[in-house]
Amino acid sequence: MTTPPTTLHDRLRAELDRRLALTRTAGTLNWNAFAVRKKNDSAWISFLRLHNPADATRRYEGELEVLERHVTTTTGCCLNCCDSTMHRNSGFSTAPYPCADLKSLASRLGMNIDG
């Protein structure tokens, strides 16, 4: 049995990995066969085009890149944000964690970060 992820970073990573596995599996399906069965249903075909697994895979891979740029340090600071010029010029030595980018990522994934 695996231990459930406890940190926000780990929880976000687990959710992105789960979604990537689903989109990669779905990407192996014959989407044209679905469209042929529903050939008179333009709404269905539009839905398939908007939710193409290849697009979702690229989106989640991009989200993983965002996640990896925003890791916490031992001081509880977002490493990427602590190193930003804007942050250094503000006179602060740490940036809040989770930073705005991680909060936004969690929101896009429908995850509650408050508990």
* 8-62 pLDDT per residue, tens: 888 999 999 999 998 888 776 666 666 566 666 677 777 777 777 888 889 999 9
Render pLDDT for 88-115 as a digit per residue (tens, 0 to 9): 555 555 566 788 888 899 999 999 887 5
Residue 6 has pLDDT above 70, yes or no: yes
Q: Which residues contact 45 (CB under 8 A, 6 or more apart)?
A: 35, 38, 39
User: For residues 91, 93, 97 and 102, what is the CA-based torsion angle, rounded to 10 degrees?
Assistant: 60
Three-state SS string over 52-106 comes to CHHHHHHHHHHHHHHHHHCCECCCCCEHHHHCCHHHHHCCCCCCCCCCHHHHHHH
